[in-house]
Structure 1
């Protein structure tokens, strides 16, 4: 097997520029130029363009810049760019050109001499391009991508064997995982069909899968893709399936016949069955952690009569959303969502179980209880990670009721900030621990000022650092942070921690910094949305079903990636080697033959 190391193993300058960092995130097994070029963002360098705003070629900066990067990475001449673009229209489109109107070769030569070599500029664009090209070339070579000239390597090292191995395993493992989904997962998704329907339930699920991959709307997208699937099945246009098979309307009607509870139960049973079937098969790594969180899906339509649309935190760039709570299994190199439920409707919140007359749409302690009830018994997490929005007396009680260890950033209110100032040695970077820290608040079936105790850990560091997943600020907490307090992070935990000796402090720091494993969870929510078909329906049922189905497709992607890494006998890393977009493109091309 080929030994394809991660970027941490490469002999590269760790001080990546912006483009190199992007390339590090994008390039995986088999990544090709169209995929790389469409995801590289070079807008940062537009301000260095010496052409004035009125110049006819000003709007061509990004394509010209990327074309020069393409040439340098492939170790080709700048003057030959135009001819090569005409021979590679897919790459031309990805770079931002019209394949039918490629600029003359002299345009690129002049740009390289003058536009990308401006002596009056503070930034040497030529050097950035050449440096980035070398990094892309090396990343692509080591990871099995056909991009680049592979400079410095012998011919027998660049025959594409690693790429072929990755491609073969991608096909093989994708088929295995999707076979498991078809046999184990899909049977739990019981979609209603009219009596005497000539299409199978599997046809609807296949249609949903294509729509998730394509990101199409539930109505028109389903109609378009149902025609496409029928054509791929070699069904005659006069065949009853083609005439009366599943359409956008039949799919919507099927989902509308489902209740919120039924959709939620179906998705969670499907996720559990997939986990039970795949866990021993994939040699799922131990120990594992569990991350719980609430993700937001923006809503922009009218809200009259909609019970599941709620407001958003101030840091969001939209005002209304649907909220979904998820429980994600975090192992060595694997993130797998094992539980999902919708939140945000007060009719589905057990407000009567809490003291006082306040009505809530989300009670984080009960979200914890509901998610833990969904998580399969076969999952025994060593610790549960949550963001700051869950840091409440009721959530602590919920963790204790389930005999679970927990770790979560604590609120930065006046009380915790005073303690941080007095106890955390910021100058020497030494943390502090306060055992039996008292926390008061409402608890289910308890009083309105119930007291729980926890361990408070003050970790030197920036509380705004995204690596800690610092999370949403509860409404009753103080949000402003004084400048003198911006270098310590408080955590609640019932893990054994102490600051009595240097060894105790070092061990406590290691335990708290394991919270960083949760960092990939925030990214996972963005990825889940990439697998979701969007819908114009105002009803919540289709939106819930689409999100739940996206969770299952997301899990399939991560399991395929894990199996490919294991099959290639490389060190399993937390960041997937196969990008979501590459997996989506692969499934989209091969779906009918795989499911």
Structure 2
């Protein structure tokens, strides 16, 4: 079905309302201009994802005919100096069509155009270019970079359409272009990994960091990137605070001017919590765009939500009681707490969003907030949480969103009694339906699954764990993925700068920036693996130490 004015309007309204999406790229970041092929690739990916969400958009060919290209400057990629009959934008669309179908020769494209009057009309072609014209355009007129972009764009369209359930002309390659996956190729050595990681890290960091802004105005002597370089540098050294780090950074950085520690902190303190979160979401959105064309990204569907604590706070918290709150353990300690939502399972484990936790905030508020932002970034099927989120109101909210959940339940009197009966029977597993009271005459229906732990240190009812799920016991095996968020927290804290400040915004920025460095590491690892092996294994090929080394190079250090 052909796109309508209303369906097109819905596409671009939807894009405009997504806070993490900036389109067109050339107008949203200084990294790109109107002739940037990388920007064009990103724009077509953004539009295609929104385009195929419309029920009436069922043709990849019609998408190619109508995707906006008027803003793009093809001149730098056109080797012909004289005027010619066919515009570059028209030829670009024609060769994307050819690549969509995987035709080796231009003749097939000519025959296709002859038999498709609707396509010719959409393209505005009065006469079909002959085979020799098309051959010269591809081999002589187009630059090599433009030819590669056409291949990339076609693959992006095929993958996006296929994931939306649209019929496509051929199966797309799910690996990055120009990669040879023959079995007789040698395994990549450490040098290959670092070389590829260096190139990808350079590209990714240039995409991600412009999402952060201090809003300092024009004419500042110290470039804003120097602040992000310093923040990265602080994260590269464990327990390094801003003052000491800034002094070291002066000597180790290749920049002429770098910020002092107090100036760095002052600028960060000016950022509100919401500004930090919005910048983080934009950065993660850009990171997701970079991995969106790989198969690993499309296995996304399971997210884990959890709360982590900073080291116990031992100072005077007067005036900060709502921010420095009690720990999750039953003791007299206090700490800052941060909540995150992270991809787990077979997907690359990126931290999709982070937020601070304040006193008296309900777990339902926290989960709802994190899911709101997450569902704007990725497709979510299943939510994994720790037992502190076992509230029936949290579970009902997740169910109302059409999502499944797996959550361990804190054992109350009835669960302990049931576990004792199971122990007496020697029964390892048991399921039962349960209604949880929501208030008034409303109930949440869930399933309780009792599971006996192997090699338990206990000899009583504590041998059993109780889980709640709204999708049956089949999802219980996925709960094992939740350990990845704990592993992620250990790495994230390694990337955090040290501080004794009680400024809530500064503390949160340090945590959020560490989450970003962690996510960059995992995204770079995925892209390197796919480039070198054609596959993604969850065990990192690029280690955190590799990433630290490469980020040092990015900041001009070492």
TM-score range, shorter chain: 0.5 to 0.7
Deviation at 1:283, TM superposition (A): 4.5
| Corresponding position of 1:219 | 242
| Corresponding position of 1:541 | 505
Matched, 1:296 2:309: yes
| Corresponding position of 1:451 | 443
**Alpha carbons of 1:178 and 1:296: their partners in 2 closer, same or farther (altered >3 Å)?**
farther
3-state DSSP of counterpart to 2:349: strand
Matched, 1:553 2:550: no
Deviation at 1:454, TM superposition (A): 0.7
Distance 2:478 2:364 in 1: 23
| Corresponding position of 1:413 | 412
**Alpha carbons of 1:464 and 1:328: their partners in 2 closer, same or farther (altered >3 Å)?**
farther
| Corresponding position of 1:581 | 545
Deviation at 1:456, TM superposition (A): 0.8
Work out which of the residue numbers 454, 460, 466 in structure 2 matches 1:484: 460
| Corresponding position of 1:325 | 339
Distance 1:190 1:408 in 2: 38
Deviation at 1:195, TM superposition (A): 5.5
**Alpha carbons of 1:546 and 1:394: their partners in 2 closer, same or farther (altered >3 Å)?**
same
**Alpha carbons of 1:224 and 1:281: their partners in 2 closer, same or farther (altered >3 Å)?**
farther
| Corresponding position of 1:348 | none
Conserved 8 A contact 1:310-1:321: yes
Work out which of the residue numbers 267, 277, 286 in structure 1 matches 2:280: 267
Matched, 1:189 2:212: yes
**Alpha carbons of 1:292 and 1:165: their partners in 2 closer, same or farther (altered >3 Å)?**
same
Distance 2:455 2:372 in 1: 31
| Corresponding position of 1:199 | 222
Distance 1:540 1:278 in 2: 32
Is there any run of 5+ residues in structure 2 with no aligned partner, and where? Answer: 1-185
Could you list the per-position Cα deviations for residues 178-235 of structure 1 after superposition, in whole angstroms to 9, with x for gaps in the alignment? 422322x2222111436631122111111111111123544313422430354x24x4
Conserved 8 A contact 1:365-1:397: no
**TM-score relative to the length of structure 1:** 0.57
Distance 1:288 1:174 in 2: 29
| Corresponding position of 2:231 | 208
| Corresponding position of 1:351 | none
3-state DSSP of counterpart to 1:295: strand
**Alpha carbons of 1:265 and 1:339: their partners in 2 closer, same or farther (altered >3 Å)?**
same
Conserved 8 A contact 1:211-1:221: no
Could you list the per-position Cα deviations for residues 235-282 of structure 1 after superposition, in whole angstroms to 9, with x for gaps in the alignment? 4xxxxx3xxx41112211111111122112221222222113322257
**Alpha carbons of 1:582 and 1:319: their partners in 2 closer, same or farther (altered >3 Å)?**
farther
Conserved 8 A contact 1:210-1:591: no
Work out which of the residue numbers 180, 193, 202 in structure 1 matches 2:204: 180
Could you list the per-position Cα deviations for residues 80-132 of structure 1 after superposition, in whole angstroms to 9, with x for gaps in the alignment? xxxxxxxxxxxxxxxxxxxxxxxxxxxxxxxxxxxxxxxxxxxxxxxxxxxxx
Distance 1:572 1:254 in 2: 39
Taking the TM superposition and a 5 Å limit, the aligned residue runs for 1:442-521 are: 447=439, 451-461=443-453, 483-495=459-471, 497=472, 508=473, 510-521=474-485
Distance 1:362 1:483 in 2: 37
Distance 1:393 1:464 in 2: 28
3-state DSSP of counterpart to 1:398: helix
Conserved 8 A contact 2:399-2:470: no
Distance 2:266 2:509 in 1: 12
Conserved 8 A contact 1:426-1:488: no
**Alpha carbons of 1:334 and 1:342: their partners in 2 closer, same or farther (altered >3 Å)?**
same
Could you list the per-position Cα deviations for residues 518-552 of structure 1 after superposition, in whole angstroms to 9, with x for gaps in the alignment? 11211111110101111122211111111000011
| Corresponding position of 1:312 | 327
**TM-score relative to the length of structure 2:** 0.61
Distance 1:282 1:548 in 2: 27
Conserved 8 A contact 1:462-1:488: no
3-state DSSP of counterpart to 1:379: coil
| Two-structure CA RMSD over aligned residues (Å) | 2.9
Conserved 8 A contact 2:204-2:520: no
Conserved 8 A contact 1:462-1:486: no
Distance 1:334 1:285 in 2: 10
Distance 1:223 1:175 in 2: 27
| Corresponding position of 1:169 | 193
**Alpha carbons of 1:251 and 1:562: their partners in 2 closer, same or farther (altered >3 Å)?**
same
Work out which of the residue numbers 527, 530, 537 in structure 2 matches 1:566: 530
Deviating more after overlay: 335-344 vs 276-285? 276-285
Q: Number of matched residues?
A: 371
**Alpha carbons of 1:333 and 1:273: their partners in 2 closer, same or farther (altered >3 Å)?**
closer
Conserved 8 A contact 1:282-1:563: no
Distance 2:308 2:386 in 1: 11
| Corresponding position of 1:386 | 385
Work out which of the residue numbers 428, 432, 441 in structure 2 matches 1:434: 432
Could you list the per-position Cα deviations for residues 115-156 of structure 1 after superposition, in whole angstroms to 9, with x for gaps in the alignment? xxxxxxxxxxxxxxxxxxxxxxxxxxxxxxxxxxxxxxxxxx
Is there any run of 5+ residues in structure 1 with no aligned partner, and where? Answer: 1-160, 236-240, 346-360, 442-446, 466-481, 498-507
**Alpha carbons of 1:323 and 1:439: their partners in 2 closer, same or farther (altered >3 Å)?**
same
Work out which of the residue numbers 261, 264, 269 in structure 2 matches 1:248: 261
Distance 2:248 2:266 in 1: 17
